[in-house]
Amino acid sequence: MFISYKVAKASEYLVITGSGIDDIKLAKKAWVLLGQSSTIIDVSPVNYTFEVQAMSSEKLAFLLPAVFTIGPRHEDQQSLLRYAKLLSCHNRQSNHVKDLVQGIIEGETRVLAASMTMEDVFKGTKDFKKEVFEKVQLELNQFGLLIYNANIKHLVDVRGHEYFSYLGQKVQMEAANQAKIDVAEAKMKGEVGAKLREGQTAQNAAKIDAETKIISTQRQGEGKKEELKVKAEVKVFENHREADVAEANAELATKKVGWAQLAQLAEVESVKAVAIKEAELQREVEMKNALTRTEKLKAEFLSKASVEYEIKVQEANWELYKKQKEAEAVLYESQKAAEAQKLAAEATLFARKQAADGELYAKTKESEGLVTAAEAQGIYIRTLFQAFNGNYAALRDYLMINGGMFQEIAKINASAVQGLQPKISIWTTGNGHSGDGSTINAVDGSVSGAMKEVAGVYKMLPPLFQTVEEQTGMVPPSWLATRSVTSSNQS
């Protein structure tokens, strides 16, 4: 199979599978490579005509002729992929696709019809169609199909179940009866209307005559009313004029009386004012006399009491002042003592804080010095170790010699035996003489190899027993060893 370039029509899509494609690929045009295969699917809608037999909730069967226009949902990529996977291998006019769609529509229609009465189905055809459309669409979504249009025709009776025929006859009879009723009502309305019109004509004529007479009488009464009204207004005007003159005369008389009363009142008030003034002056004179007598009595009888009172008040004020000053002095001393204690506490706290800061600083510096010394010692040790070419034993010996460790060990050993007179025995496991001139017996032989070591042990025993005896005075048991040593020089 060669590489080819394929282009789909306007209502078609290419479905490509094979190498390099994980699942499937949809395209309008594409290269089909080696190892790939392509299929063309048509997405234009198709009409499916069904005659669904259903049954209402009253167990009444009926036929539902319907035409559904169904096609792939091409505007949704996922739905188109689903259709390509599930139904692209079948022709849309094939029985497989038709049976699938018909099974879904019949199942949902039967379920919906079983929950409704025949009257509800017949009267609510529009709602019934909407319910069927929505429920069928939910099922078709899983196949990537879309209902473009659904047309449900008139419901048809199943043979043996002529419900719609009887229902039609009932409707026809009801319509005929209603027509007869409407005709009778129209005839009655015509006759009643004619009589009503005649009566209304006579009533309107009588009404017009009565209204004419009323208007004529009203016009005559209005003329007389206007004449009487003018006369009354003239009389009222004359009465108003007379009332105004009488009111002016009365007002003048009232004012004259008022003025006379005011004159008399002024005269009486002036007399009363003179008498009141005289009484006030007399009262002031008497009050002055009373005050004079009171002052005199005060001077005579209360002067001494006032003086004593003043003295007592001054003494009490002095005692109070004295106690206040003493209390203030105690309070001042307490405040000063508290301030002194506070200052002393602050000074102690400051001193402790300074000491703690100094100690912390000293410890910090000491730690820094130890760290620095340790770092320097480490550098020193590394330098010496490198100088000895990594020989640890040589480095250790150098440090011990340089640090005077051997001299210190000698001093410690000398101080340990100072003032003592120990018996010192020097012996060896080889042939020869000791440093102090004493002769040590040894086993002579020409043993070599492993036996030489055993011989060395036996050589060591005699001088060991001798040393133990000299140092502690203890003689080894007879069963262990018996010694016979002659020496010319022992110390």
The fraction of the chain above a pLDDT of 70, given in percent, is 79
What superfamily would CATH give domain 47-161?
A: Band 7 domain (3.30.479.30)
Instruction: Identify the pLDDT of residue 444.
Output: 43
pLDDT exceeds cutoff 80 at 430: no
pLDDT, tens digit, 9 for 90 and up, residues 110-162: 887 788 777 777 666 677 778 878 888 888 888 888 888 877 776 666 666 66
Number of alpha helices (DSSP H) and beta strands (DSSP E) in the chain: 9, 9
Q: What is the mean pLDDT of residues 170-188?
A: 77
Instruction: Identify the pLDDT of residue 101.
Output: 82
Rounded to the nearest 5°, which phi and psi values hold at 480?
-85, -50
Among candidate residues 49, 50, 55, the one with its CA nearest the CA of residue 158: 55
Which carries the bigger pLDDT value, residue 283 or residue 168? 283
Instruction: Identify the pLDDT of residue 357.
Output: 86
Instruction: Identify the pLDDT of residue 491.
Output: 39
Q: What is the mean pLDDT of residues 9-22?
A: 85
Q: What are the start-end ranges of the E strands in 36-80? A: 36-42, 46-55, 61-72
The SS3 call for residue 74 is: coil
| Rounded-to-integer distance, Cα 51 and Cα 171, Å | 25
DSSP 143: G
pLDDT, tens digit, 9 for 90 and up, residues 227-250: 788 888 888 888 888 888 888 888
The SS3 call for residue 73 is: coil
CA angle, corner 241, sides to 235 and 247, nearest 5?
Answer: 130
CB 118 within 8 A of CB 58: yes
| Rounded-to-integer distance, Cα 48 and Cα 97, Å | 10
β-bridge pairing 29-32 and 4-7: antiparallel
What's the pLDDT band for 457 if we cut at 50, 70, 90? low
| Rounded-to-integer distance, Cα 331 and Cα 439, Å | 104
Q: What is the mean pLDDT of residues 161-189?
A: 73
Which carries the bigger pLDDT value, residue 184 or residue 138? 138
**Residue ranges of the chain that CATH labels 3.30.479.30:** 47-161
pLDDT exceeds cutoff 80 at 334: yes
Query: Which range among 23-32, 172-181, 389-398 shows the weakest confidence by mean pLDDT?
Result: 172-181
Tokens 């599930």 belong to: 86
| Structure-block tokens of residue 209 | 């005559």
Instruction: Identify the pLDDT of residue 156.
Output: 63
What's the pLDDT band for 434 if we cut at 50, 70, 90? very low
DSSP 298: I
What's the pLDDT band for 99 if we cut at 50, 70, 90? confident
CB 4 within 8 A of CB 16: no
Helix (H) or strand (E) holding 216: helix 163-297
Kindly provide the b/e burial profile for residues 178-209, where b requires at least 16 CB atoms within 10 angstroms of the residue's own CB: eeeeeeeeeeeeeeeeeeeeeeeeeeeeeeee
